[in-house]
A = this chain, B = another copy of it.
Amino acid sequence: MRTLKYALLGLLNEESMTGYDLAKQFDHALLEFWHAKHSQIYPELKKLHDEGFVSYTVEISGNVLEKKVYCITDSGRDELVRWLSLDEDMGFTHKDVFRLRVFFSSNLDIDSRIEMFERQLLRHEKRLKHLQGNNEKFGGVVPDRDTHLFGDFLVLKSAMMREEMLIDWLKYCIAMCSESDAGTL
């Protein structure tokens, strides 16, 4: 699917930067829904250059250190928009190790299960608080639809809603494990 390819083109379309900078981007704005390490990014940039979707200029930091500043080409921009316009199904399984563990959790005694859910709940509550902190940069105003901040905003909203949903689900799991009678829905 070459998803990394399009992630790099998308980031370079916002601003020209080095492979090192691209790696950092994945630790910030995009962190919730995509990630890549420099060891994957450098070879992909080379491939993108061979394909003519990016170009680069070598700049000197200090006296000696060379860095390659990558820039998207017109061809790269076309390729990015083509990908964004696709109607892919993408109906594949979102793999989730925690939910897999819950699926098999009847092999644990009830107290261990509750502990497992409580620990996970704490993590997601922490994560939600962190995201709410990020959200403050928007100052309660929806950004203009034609700036890249708009996508950033919608994705952050999605991440917060996901964390809220997981918190609700985990509380429900704890309640179902704690009730003395099985009860009805």
Contacts and interface: CB of A to CB of B under 8 A. Distances in A.
A3 B151 contact: no
B161 A169 contact: yes
A123 B89 contact: yes
Interface string A67-78: 000000000000
A147 interface: yes
> How big is chain A's contact interface, by range?
35 or more
Given A32-B94, A158-B169, 10 more contacts: A1-B97, A29-B103, A33-B96, A80-B104, A99-B158, A102-B158, A106-B146, A106-B148, A141-B184, A154-B173
Interface of A: 1, 3, 6-7, 10, 13, 29-35, 80-81, 83-85, 87-108, 110, 112, 116, 119, 123, 127, 138, 140-148, 150-152, 154-155, 157-158, 161-162, 164-165, 168-169, 172-173, 176-177, 182-185
11 contacts: A3-B97, A33-B99, A34-B93, A91-B123, A99-B155, A103-B152, A104-B148, A106-B145, A106-B150, A145-B176, A165-B165
